[in-house]
Amino acid sequence: MATPAPVSAPAFDLSARFPGIASPDTRPGYSGWVIPKENLPEVAAALRDELGFDYLSHVTGVDYLPEGKMEVVYQFYKTTGGPGLSLKVQVPRQDPIEVPSIVSIYPGAEFQEREVWDLFGIRFTGHPDLRRILMWEGFEGHPLRKDWKEAYYEEDIKPFKSRWPEGKHVPAEDKTPFGDNVTYPDGFDAEKWIPEDPEKALYGALARYQVQDETGLGTEHVIVNIGPQHPSTHGVFRVAAILDGETIVSLKPVMGYLHRNHEKIGERNTYLMNMPFTDRLDYLSSMSNNFGYALTVEKLMNIKPPERAEYIRVMMAEMTRISNHLMAIGALTNDLGAYFTPMLYSLEERELILDIFEAVAGSRMMCNYFRFGGVVRDLPEGIPEKIKGLFFERLPRRIDELERFLSENEIVRSRGIGQGVLTAEDAIRYSASGPLLRASGIPYDVRRAEPYSIYDRFDFEVCVRPNGDIYDRLMIRFDEIRQSIRIVQQAVRGLPEGPVMAVKPAYTVRVPPGEAYGRVEGPKGELGFYIISNGKPSPWRYHVRAPSFINLTSFGPMCIGQKVADLVAVLGSIDIVLGEVDR
């Protein structure tokens, strides 16, 4: 919702339960609770067991360089719905920075704590496997710290002064020739350096599993790497697994091959410049990314888009969900060995949706269509009719056909039913979201749990499937497509006339100081943006809660005990996009 003022009363009084420990965050524009780091495990356990905040949405760090502080921010929700609770731990900015890990209480924090360690250099004591996750082992420095500078560093924030009025084009690679953009630590001699095996830590972590062998026969386990270049990993993604015969006994995903430090770029950019960059996160559903980002900044600015813009936004977000799910269905069946037939059938329908995006936003995938306070432009002539034709006449029929094509197919059923099961408890524990969570029987949908925009006006159901296996995760995407078609039908029928921007379009926006966490139900799950403004043209902290990344936390546990061939199907059923995983 874009309405509430940035300063809002805490939804829940934590200081009553923890007197003297939890104190409200009183900085202007901030909310939530600050606790000492020693009490974190105790408070986290109470939140989960006593107070019902069973879902850890995201963990991230903030570097307050001028104040000499580091902060770790935790955001909790209840899977029964309602507002969230944010918890902050502040530590002095002096290495070694240590904060207790909460992985034993919320296993969903595993990858996120690794990310905070990697990018901020905050050590989580008690973390079972604290390695770098996005950068490689041996990387020097922690990139999201404010005093860390990248190889082609020019200035702290854009726009760069070298562009105008005395701009002369110089290719970046000429300014910093290869070899000159490297800095070595003091006393480092590259000639004498013998690197440690970079995979040692990974294989060491992989090898920590319990051997359960009832036969008493000694069998040799083998390490198998799938990817980073492998057609079934949906991008540059690697899976390292230990196999006992064909059975997976231990598995770790390895990511970061597409890492470009999106968040650092975001902190160099002005608020508006970030909009096209969000397109490139989950590039299959850019409209949804735009939505989440626009919503968060609007929360900080305390503005609300006009009615017509809200309807257009909802339509676009639901259309992007359909196109994303069609792609997910196609890719998963492709992984199951159906080759290209279902993939091409679903791509055909996706193409028609992308045609609408192209006519409306100017680009098929990199839409860049949302602005703070509305959308770029009104729907061009003839587009509402085109949407009506597609959503009332063609798509419902075609989705039925695609479901008839796949749902009863014996190969799909035998590869899917009972395979790669994620139980409801585990789905919550591992912070799974989106179709992955709902296919495990948890009817949690941000559009209903904490309605944003105008979703409270539409009639749709939160899809849920009980079994949590690959087949359910495939079928729930059909269910969700049908619900999205319903929403688009209602929105296009009720589309009001009027302006599409609440404020005068401007390339510089004034964002008051404060923090905001905005989230939308993206096609892949809860897509959140955590933004801290200090009143300057660029955000001080810009964090993306990427659903693909956090959904991967449950990938390992889902695969243990499966055959290696099912690994591909399990990964396909999670539906990841590496642009978002690696950021």
Contacts with other proteins, residue ranges (CB under 8 A)? 158-160, 162-169, 171, 269, 272-277, 341, 345, 348, 351-352, 355, 358-363, 366, 368, 376-377, 380-381, 386, 389-390, 393-394, 401, 404-414, 417-418, 505, 507
Question: Computed over its alpha carbons, how large is the radius of gyration of the chain?
Answer: 24
Q: How far is CA 513 from CA 5, 256, 530, 536, 539, in A?
A: 12, 32, 13, 8, 9
Three-state SS string over 261-303 comes to CHHHHHHHCCCCCHHHHHHCCCCCCHHHHHHHHHHHHHHHHCC
Shortest Cβ 410–other proteins spacing (Å): 5
Nearer Cβ to other proteins (79/409) = 409
Q: Please report the DSSP string for 400-449 in residue order.
A: HHHHHHHTT-HHHHHHHTTSS---HHHHHHTT--THHHHTTT----HHHH
Q: How far is CA 510 from CA 1, 312, 440, in A?
A: 20, 25, 43
Shortest Cβ 261–other proteins spacing (Å): 14
Shortest Cβ 120–other proteins spacing (Å): 25
Shortest Cβ 523–other proteins spacing (Å): 22
* Cα pseudo-dihedral 241, 244, 247, 248, rounded to 10: -20
Nearer Cβ to other proteins (131/413) = 413
Which residue, among 321, 292, 331, has the nearest Cα to 438 in the 3D structure? 321
Shortest Cβ 364–other proteins spacing (Å): 9
Shortest Cβ 448–other proteins spacing (Å): 30
With beta carbons less than 8 A apart as the criterion, state whether 369 and 288 touch. no
Nearer Cβ to other proteins (48/262) = 262
Strands annotated E in 7-54: 23-24, 33-35
Which residue, among 554, 372, 545, has the nearest Cα to 473 in the 3D structure? 554
Nearer Cβ to other proteins (279/480) = 279
Q: H-helix or E-strand containing 578?
A: helix 578-582
Nearer Cβ to other proteins (147/410) = 410
Nearer Cβ to other proteins (163/200) = 163
Shortest Cβ 335–other proteins spacing (Å): 17
Nearer Cβ to other proteins (171/179) = 171
Nearer Cβ to other proteins (209/405) = 405
54: CB partners within 8 A, 6+ apart = 48, 78, 79, 428
Shortest Cβ 479–other proteins spacing (Å): 19
Q: Which residue has the tokens 């719905």?
A: 81
With beta carbons less than 8 A apart as the criterion, state whether 474 and 574 touch. no
